[in-house]
Amino acid sequence: MKAHCNTSLKPFHTFGLDVHAKEIIAAQSTEDFLAFWRDDAYKMLPKLIVGEGSNLLFCQDFEGLVVLNRLKGISVSETDTHWHLHVAGGENWHELVRWTVEQNMPGLENLALIPGLVGSAPIQNIGAYGVELNDRCEYVDVLHLDTGNIQRLSAHECAFGYRDSIFKQSLKNGYVIVAVGLQLAKAWEPVLGYGALSDLAMQNVVCAQAIFNKVCEIRRAKLPDPYLLGNAGSFFKNPVVVASLGNKIKEEYPDMPAYPAGDHQMKLAAGWLIEKAGLKGHKLGGAAVHDKQALVLINAGNASAQDVVQLAKHVVETVYQSFGVELEHEVRFIGATEETSLEAICLR
């Protein structure tokens, strides 16, 4: 266990906002997690477990203990049909993807360059370019902080949904993801259905390395590097609406991206809606809608937490007024003592 003397959270979340915690500790083993959870000095404090903070918005100073997941280790076993990876929650996700491609174990290449740690991936059920984590997940190991027991949940038990999982519901508090099990089929088939990857389908032979490289190229061109320009990636979920509303908007805007999403439903592109609402590049204080990818809100320079919150509120209200579509934030909002939401903050 490593305690940080400086309580600034600026280095520990990718928005880079000037917020603080009461105390920051790095946990390097499951024993570390249990030690701080049971320590009388911390028992009454609010607690928040953080990976790389790549999907967090600290809305104000956190009046408790922030614990950094720094569990490490990767092991691989195999059967005739699959490689089975057991990956500690504190491993960097993109570096894991890079490593699997280099080891000729394809299957994760579409998920390259997604920021964050492996332990955070199941919470959001991360996904990109036609692949979601649940497509490759075999199990998730969860430490129950009250009992000290580690429980293995099958992918089915994780209740994965679109940017959702049991870890945002009943297992939201009092648990930490210590490892993720992934299964990669040896009979690999490239996933090239996403528009920007379809060019690769024209090639006679497509390898995982080529997909990895292309995904990295696309993401770097569209998304700002959080180490250069503070952000938390895609700020809003792509909304799922009733088909009648989607078709009504599409009548006026035939070029609008839209995809079937179950019975009488349609998934729309949040970034397109934000851009069409005239918000691309819009600034509020030190926060802004990114001028290349409207789905991303950025710290354009010394933004305060309030700047980002107010900008998010303005985006939601403007898109609703323009299209009748209510956006939901994908980024997790963290209040003074617990996770909150844009709606809850605006009601205060």
Residues serving a catalytic function are 163, 234, 330
Decide: helix, strand or coil at residue 203: coil
| Backbone phi, psi, residue 16, to 5° | 65, 35
The conformation of residue 264, written as its DSSP 8-state character, comes to: T
Closest to 32 (Cα-Cα) out of 19, 17, 47, 44? 47
- Report the alpha-carbon distance of residue 155 to residue 140 in Å, rounded: 7
* Locus of tokens 């946990």: 27
Token output for 88: 């500690």
- Report the alpha-carbon distance of residue 109 to residue 101 in Å, rounded: 7
Name the residue type at position 233.
G
Report the DSSP pairing between strands 82-88 and 175-185: antiparallel
Token output for 231: 């952000």
74-78: strand order across its sheet = 74-78, 82-88, 175-185, 137-144, 150-154
59 within 8 A of 335, measured Cβ to Cβ: yes
Token output for 70: 């720094």
- Report the alpha-carbon distance of residue 219 to residue 93 in Å, rounded: 15
Closest to 178 (Cα-Cα) out of 136, 148, 135, 133? 148
The conformation of residue 239, written as its DSSP 8-state character, comes to: P
